[in-house]
């Protein structure tokens, strides 16, 4: 059995209970060494065989899984955050299907959730934004043309931008070209929920300067939008004058 497990957004105790249990009983762990907190490996039993996938290609990862399966061992494939977001799990699952190897997926807390917690922010504020766009800049690997930063910025919704901390100057220009004003609120969250977490608040126009001053070039999320401001409408969810299926409006 292979279990794909989301490691959570950083801190070792933010993994799910199920994920922790799977790590504790695993015979083999293949972890995304460039991003996963190594403290999570402390949950492994002493005899567990551990592989760092940062130094491996896909064929090597699958070979480890195949060999473990042949020996009747349980494998955990430990991915950063939630494995469904930039986890490259589809290609692994397809290969396992071809090999008739059974697998399950255990979700994890994504880093974009960890970033919101670090910022003490709510992405979906009434009358500000009810949409969260998760995306990344095109770099060494491209993105579909229909998902350019400019086209997504045109919505002026909340944006959380992955894998782009080293391209903040271009990102800033493209966000502005797409429709955000240069003074739109932004924040860079470096290693959200880790012990060395850093939060840098800035604007879309000062993204590059803020990243440069703080020496941030990777392992950071960039958040953009007016959800970081002070103005918003109160939710109807707890409005005493708003009737729901569980509560009558006051005075009715």
pLDDT above 80 for 68: yes
Same domain, 142 and 127: yes
Same domain, 201 and 218: yes
Same domain, 52 and 119: no
Q: Which of 75, 106, 137 is the last residue of a domain?
A: 106
Q: Which of 85, 106, 127 is the last residue of a domain?
A: 106
Number of domains in the chain: 2
What order do you get walking across the sheet with 132-136 strand by strand? 132-136, 158-162, 220-224, 185-190, 198-203
Same domain, 73 and 170: no
Whether 97 is in a domain gets the answer yes
Distance CA 21, CA 85 (A): 22
Same domain, 68 and 115: no
- Other CB atoms within 10 A of residue 250 CB: 10
Domain holding 8: CATH number?
A: 3.40.1010.10
pLDDT above 80 for 192: yes
pLDDT above 70 for 252: no
Whether 233 is in a domain gets the answer no
Task: Supply the pLDDT for residue 236.
Answer: 79
Q: What residues have CB less than 8 Å from 144, skipping those under 6 apart?
A: none
Give the percent of the chain with pLDDT over 70.
98
- Other CB atoms within 10 A of residue 89 CB: 19
pLDDT tier for residue 230 given thresholds of 50, 70 and 90 = very high
Whether 236 is in a domain gets the answer no
pLDDT tier for residue 139 given thresholds of 50, 70 and 90 = confident
* Arithmetic mean of pLDDT over the chain: 95
Task: Supply the pLDDT for residue 12.
Answer: 96
Average pLDDT for 67-73:
98
Distances (CA, A) of 8 to 17, 185, 199: 11, 26, 19
Whether 9 is in a domain gets the answer yes
Locate 229 and state its tokens. Answer: 């401001």
Same domain, 62 and 76: yes
Same domain, 213 and 116: yes
Task: Supply the pLDDT for residue 204.
Answer: 98
Same domain, 87 and 158: no
Q: Which of 80, 106, 132 is the last residue of a domain?
A: 106
Whether 252 is in a domain gets the answer no
Whether 161 is in a domain gets the answer yes
189, 164 Cβ separation under 8 angstroms: no
Same domain, 67 and 116: no
Average pLDDT for 48-73:
97
Task: Supply the pLDDT for residue 172.
Answer: 98
Whether 245 is in a domain gets the answer no
Considering only CA atoms, give the Rg of the chain: 21
pLDDT tier for residue 34 given thresholds of 50, 70 and 90 = confident
Whether 61 is in a domain gets the answer yes
Task: Supply the pLDDT for residue 248.
Answer: 75
Task: Supply the pLDDT for residue 141.
Answer: 84
Average pLDDT for 124-131:
96
Domain encompassing residue 60: 2-106
């Amino acid at each position: 059995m292979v279990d794909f497990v989301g490691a959570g957004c950083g801190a070792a105790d933010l993994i799910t209970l199920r994920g922790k249990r799977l790590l504790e009983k695993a015979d083999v762990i293949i972890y995304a060494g460039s991003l996963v907190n190594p403290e999570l490996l402390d949950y492994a039993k002493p005899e567990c065989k551990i592989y760092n996938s940062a130094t491996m290609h896909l064929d090597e990862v699958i070979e480890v899984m195949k060999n473990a399966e042949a020996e009747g061992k349980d494998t955990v494939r430990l991915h950063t955050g939630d494995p469904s977001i930039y986890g490259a799990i589809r290609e692994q699952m397809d290969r396992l299907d071809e090999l008739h190897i059974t697998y399950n997926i255990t979700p994890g807390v994504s880093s974009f959730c960890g970033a919101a917690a670090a910022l003490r922010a709510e992405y979906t504020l009434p009358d500000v934004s009810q949409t969260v766009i998760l995306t990344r800049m095109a770099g060494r690997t491209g993105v579909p043309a229909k998902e350019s930063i400019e086209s997504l910025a045109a919505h002026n919704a909340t944006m959380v931008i992955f894998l782009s901390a080293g391209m903040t100057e271009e990102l800033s220009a493209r966000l502005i070209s797409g429709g955000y004003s240069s003074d739109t609120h932004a924040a860079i969250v470096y290693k959200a929920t880790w012990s060395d977490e850093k939060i840098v608040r800035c604007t879309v126009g000062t993204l590059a300067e803020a990243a440069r001053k703080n020496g941030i070039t990777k392992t950071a999320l960039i958040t953009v939008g007016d959800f970081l401001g002070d103005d918003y409408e109160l939710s109807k969810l707890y409005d005493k004058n708003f009737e729901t299926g569980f509560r009558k409006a006051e005075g009715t």
